[in-house]
């Protein structure tokens, strides 16, 4: 570990705001991507179900 | 080998093979990204000039590298679609674009965050930054154009052409730091040369780059599978997948 304590780790030698916002943004991008994947898949499954039932009706 | 390529070119075998591949890929992604992040934040050494802000590198460099690779992959898919008219290449192109756009945005954002304490400015209009911004707009252009008409082959061909033409931007990004005077440092990291940083720094960086590549492939394959379900819903095999 490169830091003496938790406080040191958060402060990042005065660059804390920059370092943590960069990693926060990365987390945001990854989180957004994963949510988009799950929602897209659910939407397509719903759509296919609808298509199926429409075919049965006609 | 050739028959494997052939198989992956058609939707059903691709769906079935990737079904087994995806969980492994997901696990590897989680392992590489968490090990890399802990290593980068807690155990990599500070830079003797930049101090702790150098830790931004472990997000910035991988996202920039993989963003450019995803453009390359997208353009290759576009070329394959233009030459052989393989449907899955069109899907592959369509699914690579949003990931590439997100990663380019991440590279730009972390670059700005790193630039502020290091150069004293969030943004400068220099060659590396500007050409990366163009990369972002190319991804956006591909996304918008492809969404003009879903599943249409003509739109697919137009999008593929845009993706292939946009390839000229990649060498511009790569060599921008050599061709023009820029604030951005030149590459200290390549496949062929010994890195110009100590091993305690480049080893976690390699782990992060691998993690970002794994993430790209996980997301890419996942979206291709979703798009296959959407476009191939008339096929018997899609109907027999019970929850679809």
Does residue B186 have a pLDDT over 80?
Answer: no
Helix (H) / strand (E) containing B190? none
Q: Supply φ then ψ for residue B51, to 5 degrees.
A: 70, -140
Question: What integer pLDDT is reported at residue B238 of this predicted model?
Answer: 87
Instruction: Give the A-side interface with B, CB within 8 Å.
Output: 1-3, 9, 12-16, 18-19, 21-23, 25-26, 29-30, 32-34, 36-37, 40-41, 44-45, 47-48, 51-52
Chain B: give the shortest CA distance to residue A48, in Å. Answer: 7
Closest CA to A52 of B229, B179, B208: B229
The CB-based long-range contact list for B149-154 (8 Å cut-off, 24+ gap) reads: B151/B231, B153/B85, B153/B90
- Residue in B52, B106, B229 nearest the CB of A48: B229
Q: Is B95:B86 a contact under the CB 8 Å cutoff?
A: no
**Considering Cα of B122, then B127, then B130, then B134, what sign does the dihedral take?**
negative
Triad B207, B212, B215: Cα angle to 5°: 125
Render pLDDT for B14-69 as a digit per residue (tens, 0 to 9). Answer: 999 999 999 999 999 999 999 999 999 999 999 888 889 999 999 999 999 999 99
Chain A: give the shortest CA distance to residue B1, in Å. Answer: 30
Number of domains in chain B: 1
- Residue in A12, A16, A44 nearest the CB of B226: A44
| Res. B228 pLDDT band, cuts 50 70 90 | very high
Question: What integer pLDDT is reported at residue B242 of this predicted model?
Answer: 63
Render pLDDT for A6-57 as a digit per residue (tens, 0 to 9). Answer: 888 988 888 989 999 999 999 999 999 999 999 999 999 999 989 888 888 8
What is the domain range of residue B178? 16-182+192-240
User: DSSP secondary-structure letter at B59?
Assistant: H
Six-digit token string for B157? 């061909």
ipTM of the complex: 0.93
What's the mean per-residue pLDDT of chain B?
91
The whole-angstrom distance between residue B168's C-alpha and the CA centroid of its chain comes to: 17
Residues of A in contact with B223 (CB under 8 A): 37, 40
What number of other Cβ atoms are within 10 A of residue B117's Cβ? 17
Helix (H) / strand (E) containing B167? none
């Amino acid at each position: 570990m490169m830091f003496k304590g938790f406080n040191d780790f958060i402060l990042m030698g005065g660059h804390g705001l920059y370092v943590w916002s960069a990693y926060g943004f990365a987390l945001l991008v990854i989180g957004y991507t994963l949510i988009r994947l799950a929602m897209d898949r659910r939407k397509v499954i719903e759509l296919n179900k609808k298509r199926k039932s429409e075919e049965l009706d006609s | 080998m050739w028959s494997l390529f052939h198989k992956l070119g058609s939707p059903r075998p691709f769906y079935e093979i990737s079904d087994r591949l995806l969980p492994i890929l997901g696990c590897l992604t989680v392992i590489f990204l968490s090990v890399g992040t802990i290593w980068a934040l807690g155990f990599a050494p500070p830079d003797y000039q930049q101090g702790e802000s150098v830790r931004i590198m472990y997000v910035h460099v991988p996202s920039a590298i993989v963003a450019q690779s995803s453009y390359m992959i997208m353009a290759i898919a576009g070329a394959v679609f233009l030459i052989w008219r393989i449907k899955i290449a069109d899907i592959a192109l369509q699914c690579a674009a949003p990931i590439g756009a997100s990663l380019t945005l991440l590279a730009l954002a972390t670059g700005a965050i790193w630039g502020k304490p290091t150069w004293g400015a969030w943004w400068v209009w220099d060659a590396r930054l500007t050409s990366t911004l163009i990369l972002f707009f190319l991804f956006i252009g591909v996304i918008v154009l492809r969404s003009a008409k879903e599943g249409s082959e003509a739109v697919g061909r137009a999008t593929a052409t845009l993706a292939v033409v946009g390839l000229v931007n990649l060498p511009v990004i790569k060599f921008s730091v050599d061709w023009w005077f820029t604030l951005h440092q030149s590459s200290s990291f390549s496949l062929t040369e010994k890195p110009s940083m100590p091993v305690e720094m480049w080893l976690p960086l390699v782990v992060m780059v691998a993690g970002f590549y794994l993430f790209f492939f996980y997301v890419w394959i996942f979206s291709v599978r979703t798009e296959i379900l959407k476009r191939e819903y008339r096929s018997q095999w899609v109907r027999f997948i019970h929850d679809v």
